A and B are shown apart, each in its own frame.
Chain A
């Protein structure tokens, strides 16, 4: 049987459909996720299939959506909330960070909040400063949350199913430019554990460490670099919290060089944490300093040429690797 190829958004939809079927406590809530199918059409058809009690359209009330997700999960539901753009999580940040993430701890470990907040991240769609950000570092900084960013359809499906079954609040960030990308996704049921990185390309000379949309870009860069005789490994973190430090260590012990790539502003971005970890724990294995390649220090601009310049592109990654290999 030939491999089945579907898009990233179809894979997410399949995960939602399967979990809605598997578990009567699972339900979806969010803005325009019903008949409209969500701003990025991810939930298209689920309202018709599962009805208004399983796929709930909400008012435009991000704080209430995230808080209500926590409340419903606290009394036994498994809530999957969609926030239309991850930028808007800021409106519900108290409910996410001060409530959902901490409820279990504050209550002395006696409650759980099995909820997922799904939200699109990233630039590249001309949506400008309030609809294009990558704020994963904010959430990854919060003990009590799990943070997941899949880079391809198969990972998206397996990780989302695990996120829904997880007993903790999980932030599941979907890059907008990935929604239409295609990949092989098994037809049979499978799960991918949270907190496990994945080597997307094996290599001997240098490891590019990244996540989300920077993985396909890094793979393209690796192909170009292969033509120059540079053998690059690409490590996809997939989860930022918990962070698979073992996979990072293993790869650095093999390649001795690391380029950490991310779309968010470089200063204080999650890549800084990865670089710090490598500096602290893998220093003796390094043949050159760890390099970060993050986004520029400005809000996402509307202009398409500038928007591309904001975040690392394939050519930037190629240049970064070349520079590191010389060092």
Chain B
């Protein structure tokens, strides 16, 4: 059971992701962020509900759309913003950028620029945890597009065969760049593929943070008990374009509107107010605090120095 404090944390994290992403988009439009990134707006409940089910020292692997996972796993938004602005104070000293933010100390084994690229790494991390008998669990985030890569099959099969402590979490946001999942697979639910590997599979509403939390909690418990992986498909929707913005030529305005009406943050907010009796003021205060934090992160990033070439060259080898 989630305590009220924890639920408020969940709200705070979701709003942090939303405001971070909106700020990042703004900075890009203003020309203050040079490189590419992929926004997580609309999918916040998946990362937050998932990471709420973890212990602090459990691991995750993330994706190219990774800001939400980072924040949910406890990343410092100042260092994230600094990384997006390619500064030395960023998580990767400004050499990784959005697609490579990692925070190994907090159990975040990194975003990934290759679709499906993190699935073998998560599987190996789970193998390492099993061999070390450290009781840790690995969450492997990937998207619907990644479920069509070879590493998806190779890794889940291996994870299942070896009963590794890993949860394969597919964020089905309906589109692999412009390609609809309805076009690219012949099944209704990606979770059906779990049958092929002999592991449990479940499709959940990825816009309901408590539903995500419940499903992941069960899967994590199973993994921790040595019973092996679960494939969870969280159905959600990417509000923004694939990378930064796009012209949305592959989907209709009506479709986007219908998903926006199912905003994961709005619905959780209503739950807190209606079912938990939280006063709106409390939530509004959180919003204000988070907005302040995001602005601080921008100032921190802007005032931070650029990385130095010689120092960066020394990072290639251990």
* Chain A residues packing against B (C-beta within 8 Å): 25, 27, 29, 53, 56, 58-59, 61, 63-64, 66-77, 79, 94-95, 98-99, 103-112, 114, 143-144, 146, 166-168
* Contact call A107/B110, Cβ cutoff below 8 A: yes
* Chain B residues packing against A (C-beta within 8 Å): 59, 61, 90-96, 100, 102, 104-105, 109-110, 112-114, 117, 119-129, 131-132, 150-151, 154-155, 157-158, 161-162, 314-318
* Contact call A64/B314, Cβ cutoff below 8 A: no
* Contact call B127/A71, Cβ cutoff below 8 A: yes
Nearest Cβ on chain B to A111's Cβ, whole angstroms: 5
Residues of A within 8 A of B96 (CB): 106-108
Query: With A75-B125, A95-B120, A98-B117 in contact, do A106 and B151 touch (Cβ < 8 Å)?
Result: no
Nearest Cβ on chain A to B143's Cβ, whole angstroms: 16
Interface centre among A56, A74, A75, A111 (most CB of B within 10 A): A75
- Cross-interface CB contact of A111 among B90, B95, B102, cutoff 8 Å: B102
- Cross-interface CB contact of A108 among B61, B91, B154, cutoff 8 Å: B91
Closest residue of A by beta carbon distance from B132: A76
Closest residue of B by beta carbon distance from A79: B124
Residues of B within 8 A of A146 (CB): 317
Residues of B within 8 A of A74 (CB): 104, 109, 121, 124-125, 128
Residues of B within 8 A of A166 (CB): 318
Nearest Cβ on chain A to B304's Cβ, whole angstroms: 13
Residues of B within 8 A of A143 (CB): 316
Residues of B within 8 A of A64 (CB): 119-120, 123, 151, 154-155, 157-158
Taken together as a complex, chains A and B put the C-alpha atoms of A99 and B120 apart, in Å, by 10
Taken together as a complex, chains A and B put the C-alpha atoms of A29 and B109 apart, in Å, by 21
Residues of B within 8 A of A29 (CB): 127
Nearest Cβ on chain B to A73's Cβ, whole angstroms: 7
* Contact call B120/A109, Cβ cutoff below 8 A: no
Taken together as a complex, chains A and B put the C-alpha atoms of A66 and B93 apart, in Å, by 27
Residues of B within 8 A of A107 (CB): 91-92, 96, 100, 102, 104, 110
Closest residue of B by beta carbon distance from A114: B318
Residues of B within 8 A of A68 (CB): 120-121, 123-124, 127, 155, 158
Nearest Cβ on chain B to A146's Cβ, whole angstroms: 8
* Contact call A67/B119, Cβ cutoff below 8 A: yes
Interface centre among A58, A79, A106, A111 (most CB of B within 10 A): A106
Nearest Cβ on chain A to B293's Cβ, whole angstroms: 22
* Contact call B316/A99, Cβ cutoff below 8 A: no
